[in-house]
Each structure stands twice: as structure tokens, then as C-alpha cells.
Structure 1
């Protein structure tokens, strides 16, 4: 089952995707083009992984890490399907990152790898844009690299855990203006989904609604104002986002 959160006629609703239409919790139906897509989960803690694909670490001239490089993101970073992401005016290198996002379904601590999937509600797609001009060092990322408003499109929906046979063998693709730019697979992750759940829960409680962004493979390229970026994960769907110009701060 695919579950979404949308705004329809001014109301925020949960919805189930059936074919090419949405069935809202109110009982109404709507076409996908009639709604504003919201992040599919009211996010709790958002964890993100740096350098979780060896090929991506290599293309950045970093060694693959021996332990997960985890950082946190604020909920301000999330924007839904068909949303817009501002490109800072002072940035020369902004790039996409197609990532499998794991949504936690229930609270747990000291979770073993063997039981990790029991704590997963489902999966969605994230495009965790990076602004590499702000990067400081290996122990990344600098806060400004990954915590700007609307810098992480996510969605369009959550696919139930049991509808994904093997989350560790899914193809990832990114298209920019219709051209295929990035190809990879979750099978190439350094730290698997069960490993990450065990690792994180070994020192902190995971809660329903927490999200784990699992990293991106090699192939990120620069994007510019006006570009349409589509990130795609096998069995989950396609997430569309457009790059816009960042508006200057108002003068006080």
C-alpha cells in the first residue's frame, strides 16, 4: 500500500494511492494533479548518512568510513513531491543525492539486525541536495550543507515495508531535465538498513516517524536554477523537484 499526505482544497489529509487517483481520509477522491504533495510523514528525528556508498566516497577522494557518518537534519529541510528547492546565489556547486529513506514504525532501543525490519513502517524516496561550497572537512557535513529550507524533497508516498521484497537490492536513478545522470543500487551500501537500525538504537531510542536517509551512490552532478530533477527508486516510485532561484532576505 502507498500512503501519502497532501493538501486538498485547503485541508491537510492523509491519502491512499489507488491507481492514478488518491482516496483521502475524508472519503473524497482526487487526481494527483489536484493536490499539493506534502512530506509523507510528520517527521521526528531525521538521520542522514555521509559516504555510505564506497563509489561515491571514492569520487569525492575520501576513504570509505569504518563507522557510519551520521548527522541530523531539521524538519524545515523537507519538501514534498513537485516542490521547489532554492539554489543559494553564492553557491557554485549544488547537486542532488538520490537516497532510500527508511521510516521507523514503532519505538525501540537496542534493536538487533535480525529484528530491525520489524521496526520499519515503510520506505520512501529522498533527494538530499548538497551545497558543496559550504563543506568543511571529512567529518561532514557543515550544518549549512544539509539544513537549508526545502533542501530535501521526500515522497511522493510511503510504501509499506512488506511491499518491498528486498530493500537492499533496489535500483536508484536520477534524471535531470529528462537525462539519466545517476545510476546505482542499494546493494552497494556500506552499512545496510538493518545495520544502521542496530547502530543507531544501540545508544538512542528510535521513535515512530523517525527517518533514516541511507546515502547516495556515485554520479551526483551540478544542478542550476530551472532544472527539473527526478529521483527514482525501484518499487517505490518517482520524486520530482524543481530548482528555483533563492530570493534575497528582506531588508529590515
Structure 2
């Protein structure tokens, strides 16, 4: 399989547009999938620069309902019209999401432009599904070890504010000849938890690679150590970090694991 980041926080190539966000073009033997869309139309320009034909997409998959992962949806569907690839998201992805700051609550959820009718309604996933041969969508990993929940991320339900536990979070698992590849957007429910859930779903399969954002940029040192050690115990063949992993998270994981690299915007990686 091939992964090309159309958007990442680290965008070293001068001809590409960068922003805080994530969008991966993923091509397997059976499907061409776009995983998240960043926060603006930048992925469209970057896809053109990189020679990625978005008109040939089989599906769009959303990791969760934050603006930096879903904000480019309207631009995407305008660009690929009249073709409308199927869109998958975790159940509840469109619920309003907030961040608590010193100035109060800030809306960080799905923008109005990324909601129907501007874009098609998503097929909401509440259990592991297999939309294409060898490619699976895994929702809501059980929170046990190293969850990266942040109390500043909030939901408001029936007028009551509470912490967002990211029930809508969705990961991709690809079954390759060398084992499974687990791809995450932010891993809010914990990268170790997500990978363990995938390994339980595919018992006996080697863990070929872990790919994506791990949301460690503002994690305490103790959490960084816990997660880096937890990843090492899983013995992945390869680790490709991006987006919200952060430099501290990348350093902690690199110190305890082998074959760790940053998956920057514009790279092309065969896994």
C-alpha cells in the first residue's frame, strides 16, 4: 500500500500549502481512500501538485469531527463533482465539539460548510466494517492504557457540558502481506488502545506499521513515557508519526522504538 500525506503540520516542500491538519491519500490493492481533509481547500492544490487524482477516489474516511480533519470536505466534493465517493465516519461525528480556553468555549467541530447538503451525509460506523478487501474501519477503541484525553475538549449535551470522550473516533486497519497497518487521525482514545484493539481483531497478525497523529504535543512527560513504552511493547515493524504527535512525542517514541520517522506533507511511503 502507498500513503501520500496531502496535508500535515510539517510541510517542508516549498510548492505545497501547509496548515494545522491531516489528510492522507491511501492506495491499496483494492481501493483509493482519502483519510481526512485538513481544514481548508489546501489539500486540493497539494493533490494537483503531487499528481494525486482525487476524481478516482473510492471513499472518504473521517477520523473524527474536528475542523482540522473535516474542514476541507466541501472543497473536496466540489472538486470531484459530479462523482461523489462514499463517505464513512464514526457514529456521532457531526455532534458539536468545543475547546475550553481562557476566553471561554471555542467551536472546533465540523464546520457548517462540511455538513449536508454541501457534502453527502456520512455512513456512520459503530462496529468494525470491511468496505474494501483488506481495508477495515475500526471505531471507538476501548480506553485502557495511555489514553490521550484532554479535559479542554468538550461536548454540550442537553445543556450540560462534559469532556469529549471521542466516541466518534475512527481508525483504518489495512491487512497487508507483512501484517496489519494501523492508521490514526489523532488517537484521542490512546494510540496504544487503538493498536491493541486492532491486534485483537486480527489475532496472530504481525504489526507491520503504526501511522498517523498520536496527539502527544501537549502531553505531560509521564504520559509521553507511558505511551512510548506501550508502543515499544507492541513491537511495530515501523512507526510513521504526523500531525499532532508533536516534537516531544516524536522524540519520546524515537528514543524507545526502532524505525521511527515523520510522515510529512508531500512524502510518498510504501508500507
Specify if TM > 0.5. Answer: no
TM-score by length of 2: 0.26
Structure number with higher strand proportion: 1
TM-score, normalised relative to structure 1? 0.27
Q: Give the structure, 1 or 2, with the largest relative contact order (CA under 8 Å, sep 6 or more).
A: 1
Larger helix percent:
2
